[in-house]
Amino acid sequence: MPEGHSVHRIARQFGLHFVGHPVRVSSPQGRFVDGAARLDGHTITEARAVGKQMFLRFDNDLWLRVHLGIYGAWDFAGDITVDATVAAANGRMGQTNQRGTVADQDGANGSESSLSSIGAPRRTRLRMAEQEKLEEPIDVFPPEPIGAVRVRLLTDDAVADLRGPTACEVLTPDQVEATIAKLGPDPLEVDAAEGEERFVSVVRRKPTPIALLLMDQGVVSGIGNVYRAELLFRARLNPHTPGKLVPEQTLRELWRDWTRLLATGVATGQMLTMDDLDPDDYRKALASRDDRHWVYHRAGLPCRVCGTNIVMEELGGRKLYWCPRDQA
DNA sequence: TAATTATGACGAC
DNA sequence: TCGTCCTAATTAC
């Protein structure tokens, strides 16, 4: 799935172009007709991300909860925002004048600056999932829904189509609160010190391998299989170490590193887990998933630090990648 | 054209 | 621990 960074970016897209607007809500696929009817015609008042879940609040005090699961995606079209890093990663720099709104951004460290609105309105089409992909511009607004669209949110200027979610449901405020209460801290949602204390105290009580705890959304929110593998390598921590045996200082550093990686991910739209790349390696990292990580998806390839072959094993039904030497 | 894969999570045993 | 659900892109044949 879209790990935590993507969900925050999607929530931001909704914040920019849907919050404050009345929306037509429909289910072209037909599997969310009743839910859509409860929201249709209402104005979105808030877009919020916690971990891998997004919550949209409507002015009738109902919420839409969406979890993209392993392959869900949002397709946006119309007046939407594409930031410069994503445009660059899609090889579309210099063509943005025909593609709606582009947000300027510092390339290498990904900090945001101004928004610049350029060119033809309501033309851009952007898929937001674990990656973001700029598609061919639309020629009529709104475009016909393509494929299995569970829910369509339509304003005068923008449309968002949801496909393949693992969860898409209407919730009351109490139900939203209960859902969020079950989640571990999200660095972008909680006070930094409080989040760190919650994370450390929960992990220190458990005999479970740290690799499983990092993926447990009740322990910490937003980490998926890529960030999990990369965080453990960055900490040079053996994935099988029981939570209670990980030194407290290491756990604090893990939390802070997650905070950093998440911020970078939200800023750039990419899971860039190798720091301080030179410009050439940075371009490679943007261009290819396989040049972006220390260990993820590198089974059998030499470790970038020590040259030992990266190991892949199944743990809890998911693939775990790690360096048996550096993370001994 | 079919099989495979994917950055989740849940419920039944 | 296993099966199941949701969809699309990629790879194999």
For the question of residue A135 being annotated catalytic, the response is no
pTM of this structure: 0.91
Q: Which nucleotides of B are covered by protein (CB under 7 A)?
A: 6-10
Burial A269-301 (b: 16+ CB within 10 A, else e): bbbbbbeebeeeebeebbeeeeebbbbbbbeee
For the question of residue A2 being annotated catalytic, the response is yes
Q: Of residues A9, A48, A52, A123, which has the active-site annotation?
A: A52
The string of DSSP letters for A195-238 reads HHHHHHHHHTT--SBHHHHHH-TTTSSS--HHHHHHHHHHTT--
Nearest nt to the A218 alpha carbon by C1': B9
At A203 the pLDDT is 95
How many Cβ atoms from other residues are within 10 Å of residue A249's Cβ? 9
Burial A174-199 (b: 16+ CB within 10 A, else e): eebeebbeebbbbbbbbeeeebbebb
Q: Within 7 Å: CB of A289 and strand B? A: yes
Residue nearest to nucleotide C6 (CA to C1'): A164
Give dist(CA A99, CA A78) in Å, integer.
9
CB A326 within 8 A of CB A308: yes
CB A41 within 8 A of CB A24: yes
Residue pLDDT tens, chain A, 328 long: 689 999 999 999 999 999 999 999 999 989 999 999 999 999 999 999 999 999 999 999 999 999 999 889 999 999 999 888 777 776 654 344 333 445 444 333 333 333 333 445 668 899 999 888 888 888 889 999 988 999 999 999 999 999 999 999 999 999 999 999 999 999 999 999 999 999 999 999 999 999 999 999 999 999 999 999 999 999 999 999 999 999 999 999 999 999 999 999 999 888 989 988 888 888 888 777 778 899 999 998 999 999 999 999 988 889 999 999 999 9
Q: Within 7 Å: CB of A71 and strand B? A: yes
Nearest nt to the A163 alpha carbon by C1': C7
Pick the CATH number of A184-322 from 1.10.8.50, 3.40.190.10, 1.10.150.20, 3.40.50.300: 1.10.8.50
Domains A4-179 and A184-322 share a fold: no
For the question of residue A3 being annotated catalytic, the response is yes
At A115 the pLDDT is 35
**A91 φ/ψ sector (left φ>0, alpha ψ -120 to 50, else beta):** left
Nearest nt to the A150 alpha carbon by C1': C6
At A111 the pLDDT is 34
The residue ranges of every structural domain in chain A are 4-179, 184-322
Q: Considering the domain A4-179 in this protein, what is its CATH number?
A: 3.20.190.10
Give dist(CA A306, CA A324) in Å, integer.
10
